[in-house]
Chains A and B, each alone.
Chain A
Amino acid sequence: MAQEPATAKPLTREQAQKLLYQMVLIRKFEEMSAEMYTKTKIRGFLHLYIGEEAVAVGVMQSLGTEDNVLCTYREHGHALVRGLDPKIIMAEMYGKQEGCSRGRGGSMHLFDAKTRFYGGNAIVAGHLAMAVGMALADKKMKRNGLTCCFFGEGAIAEGAFHEAMNLAALWQVPVLFVCENNFYAMGTALRYTHAQTDLTLKGAAYGIASAAVDGMDLLAVMQAADTASDTVRNTGKPYLLVCNTYRFRAHSMFDAELYREKSEVEEWKKRDPIPGFYNYLMLQQLLTADDFKAMEIQAENEVQEAVDFAETCSWEPVEELTKYTYSENAS
């Protein structure tokens, strides 16, 4: 099933293949993560993004290096697209000190100052107001960046969401709120958590420009994200972009998935963003089957290298247990 070209700018072969590669890399990276979890190399909670790749890949294209990014605990894909080396992500998930958060955070807490990647936040809706504050700082310091904050639709039920939206609108700060609506907050479906299920109205209620997009369609997400980021950059005001998507896997590795029918999952899998974009590129003659095979091998190698690296990394000495509780240069 080919996707309709939604974007105005035609893609070059190189751009097109890079986009597809980013989605493939996330997919392979997460499949490997699941395997390493069953091998108990990765512990704690592991939340997979499989099925939702087009959202992170699509939105991230509209961001620049001066922008800030905040995510939830389901953030491996965002970290990869943002440019974190798969090696330091995998090392983090192993809990090794070469990891991007020195192994302190694990899967749910990927951080990277170099790419302005502010987590990896595991209290639902806890990072939304922080995003507002980061945008406020940019505004006060007269910097150009915007702050992009990803969260699930479950977060919209929290008071913290509404406070953050109001503050962002009231203070007119450049935040791009990206709601990754995968229709389930753990086992609770959207219709059981929200009386108003049109999520764009939640932004509109605060006077925030809001739009929804098919989050399984990479090009559509890219175009919507471009419009959204341009609006934020041009007006300095917040924007709410709702990406409708679906997670193909369980909520975390502890989930028996009692709350949804297998057939529903299968139905959504027909809209898998990777074959969708693949078919489109084939139709546009921007990709060959051999290109794709090579791409898959390259991604597999990159992921294998990440695992090999994580294996050779070291554990932080236990003597350093209380390190990073306070800044080292604090008085």
Chain B
Amino acid sequence: MPDNLITYRECIKQAIREALLGDERVFMMGEDVGRYGGAFAVSKNLLQEFGPERIMDTPLSEAGFVGAGIGAALGGMRPIVEIMTVNFSLLALDQIANNAATLLHMSGGQFNVPLVIRMSAGIGRQLAAQHSHSWEPLFAHLPGLRVLSAGTHEDARYMLAPALLDPDPVIIFEYTSLLNLENKLPENTGSIDISKAKVRREGKDISIITYGTGVYKSLEAATELAASGIDAEVVDLRILRPLDEETIIASVAETHRALIVEDASKSVSISSEVSARIMERCFYELDAPVKRLCGAEVPIPYPKHLEDAAVPQPAQIVSSIKNILQHA
């Protein structure tokens, strides 16, 4: 690999390795994380390095092992539970919503749940309706959870450590379509603040507010827009709950325009929430109505041309922004 290029997959793996080396209470469990090497080869060879006590293969029992993760966290461990993909997370949603997210509150502050759940997410591999869900909004709906979205290599590499230090349950979304993508890690990123959104590109004409697979797509669009003399700012939300309102508002107050981009379908989405917060906090700063580019309201179809059409693409981001600025 040319100097310091690293795949997104390797970023996640290094983060897990570092966590296992750094704290004996950390262990990872999930389906096929050990002998198989991880469904997406993320945890390849970790079983050999750390042994079956710390890299635990589980049966197909999402509710069971997520619940057990909650229990182990209550018991003083620091589990990383991998749900193979977000598509199977609903089998464990009761444990997440009714136990992990509520125990601290129900117990009057006595029992916190220091659990990290990682799951791969996103569409783009022609896996059809049952394997292509964008359910970030579903989890972001639940008070008691911290919901992170690793849309960049930096976050894939550095989100896990602060997540493990959090006293409360953290969900991390990782994106399968990015796994093989190589990129550089920024220098001096020892740790990141998992309460803050991040401006990935500064600009003065419009704020593109996005997360997950939207981040690189929006950066690509911003580069193309720059060629037409349009200076777009890209805000990576990366913390979907609790939202970092300040970073969003500060950006929109500078650019006076906002386009929100996400793969999840539009109704009752992250973009619905962000848009509402902008209206509540800085309506009078706006020079144009807030616009949204989201997933179509349809289960995801298998053929490539329909799958591509089901979520925003860079070209649409470019044309939407040109539209907004023309009408400004």
Known A44-B127, A104-B129: A315·B305 in contact at CB below 8 Å:
yes
Kindly state whether residue A116 has any CB partner on chain B within 8 Å: no
- CA of A177 to CA of B203, assembled, Å: 60
Q: How large is the interface on A (under 10, 10 to 19, 20 to 34, 35 or more residues)?
A: 35 or more
Contact digits for B292-313, partner A, Cβ 8 Å, 1 yes 0 no: 0000111101111110011000
Q: Which of A45, A125, A316 contacts B131 (CB 8 A)?
A: A45
**Which of A56-64, A186-194, A303-311 makes up part of the contact surface?**
A186-194
* A186→B36 contact, CB < 8 A: yes
Nearest chain B CB to A92's CB is how many angstroms away?
8
Q: Which of B39, B301, B309, B310 has the most CB of A within 10 A?
A: B301
Say yes or no: A43-B126 contact (C-beta < 8 A), given A186-B31, A188-B59. Answer: yes
CA gap between A47 and B276 in the complex, in Å: 44
Let me know if A105 is at the binding interface, CB within 8 A.
yes
Task: Provide the residues of chain A in CB contact with B88, threshold 8 Å.
Answer: 123-124
Do A122 and B131 touch across chains, with their CB atoms under 8 A apart?
yes
Q: Chain B interface: which size bin?
A: 35 or more
How far apart are the CA atoms of A320 and B17 in the complex, in Å?
46
Cross-interface CB contact of A193 among B37, B60, B310, cutoff 8 Å: B60
Query: Is B281 an interface position by the 8 A CB rule?
Result: no
Q: Please, which residues of chain A bring their CB within 8 A of the CB of B127? A: 44-45, 108
Whether A193 pairs with B87 at a CB distance below 8 angstroms is: no
For the complex, is B125 an interface residue (Cβ under 8 Å from A)?
Answer: yes
- B57 CB–A CB distance under 8 Å: yes
Q: Which residues of A contact B310 (CB under 8 A)?
A: 321
Please tell me if the beta carbons of B35 and A105 are within 8 angstroms of each other in the complex.
no
B303 touches A316 (CB 8 A): yes
Which B-chain residue is minimally distant from A109 (CB atoms)? B128
Q: A122-B130, A188-B35 are in contact. Are A103 and B302 (CB under 8 A)?
A: yes
A273 interface contact, C-beta 8 A: no
* Chain A positions within 8 Å of B126 at CB level: 43-44, 95, 106
Which of these binds chain B: A153-161, A164-172, A226-234, A264-272? A153-161
Do the beta carbons of B36 and A104 come within 8 Å of each other? no
User: How would residues 17 to 30 of chain B score, 1 for a CB under 8 Å from any chain A CB and 0 otherwise?
Assistant: 00000000000000
Which residues in B have some Cβ–Cβ distance to A below 8 Å?
31-32, 35-37, 39, 41, 57, 59-64, 87-88, 91, 125-131, 296-299, 301-306, 309-310
- Contacts from A to B (Cβ < 8 Å): 43-45, 95-96, 103-106, 108-109, 121-126, 154-155, 157-160, 185-189, 192-194, 254-256, 258-259, 315-316, 318, 321-322, 325
8 closest A-B pairs (Cβ-Cβ)? A187-B36, A95-B303, A157-B59, A106-B302, A193-B59, A44-B126, A43-B126, A259-B35
| 28 chain-A/chain-B pairs, Cβ below 8 angstroms | A43-B302, A43-B304, A44-B125, A44-B126, A95-B304, A103-B303, A104-B129, A108-B130, A122-B130, A122-B131, A123-B87, A126-B130, A157-B60, A158-B60, A158-B61, A159-B64, A185-B60, A186-B32, A186-B36, A187-B36, A188-B35, A192-B59, A258-B36, A315-B305, A318-B309, A321-B296, A321-B310, A322-B296
